[in-house]
Amino acid sequence: MLDDLSKFDVIAFDADDTLWHNERFFKLSQNRFCEMLSDYVDIKTLENTLLAAEIRNLGHYGFGVKGFTLSMIETAIEVTEGRVEASVIKQLLDIGQEMLQHPLELLDGAHIAISHLAQTHPLYLITKGDLLHQERKLAQSQLGEYFTGVEIVSDKTPTVYQHILSKIGCAPKNFLMIGNSVKSDTQPVLEIGGWACYVPFESRWEYEHGTIPLANPRFMQITSLTEIVN
Task: Determine the residue with CB nearest Mg ion.
Answer: 16
Total Cβ atoms within 10 A of residue 144: 12
CB of 19 to Mg ion, least distance (A): 9
Among 2, 16, 70, 133, interactor with Mg ion by CB under 5 A:
16
Q: CA 42 to CA 149: how far, in whole Å? A: 45
CB of 97 to Mg ion, least distance (A): 22
- Cβ nearer to Mg ion, comparing 75 with 134: 134
CB of 90 to Mg ion, least distance (A): 30
Based on the shown chain and the rule CB under 5 A, indicate whether residue 54 belongs to the binding site for Mg ion: no
- Cβ nearer to Mg ion, comparing 15 with 37: 15
Q: CA 123 to CA 148: how far, in whole Å? A: 5
CB of 132 to Mg ion, least distance (A): 18
The H or E element spanning position 127 is strand 123-127
219-221, strands of its sheet edge to edge: 147-152, 123-127, 10-13, 175-179, 195-198, 219-221
* Phi and psi torsions of 186, nearest 5°: -105, -65
- Cβ nearer to Mg ion, comparing 46 with 189: 189
Q: Name the segment binding Mg ion (CB under 5 A); options: 15-23, 97-105, 155-163, 219-227.
A: 15-23
- Cβ nearer to Mg ion, comparing 88 with 160: 160
Q: CA 207 to CA 140: how far, in whole Å? A: 27
Q: CA 132 to CA 14: how far, in whole Å? A: 17
User: Nearest Cα to 93, choosing from 29, 42, 46?
Assistant: 29
- Cβ nearer to Mg ion, comparing 85 with 155: 155
Q: Which of residues 122-181 bind Mg ion (CB under 5 A)?
A: 180-181
Binding site for Mg ion (CB under 5 A): 14, 16-17, 180-181
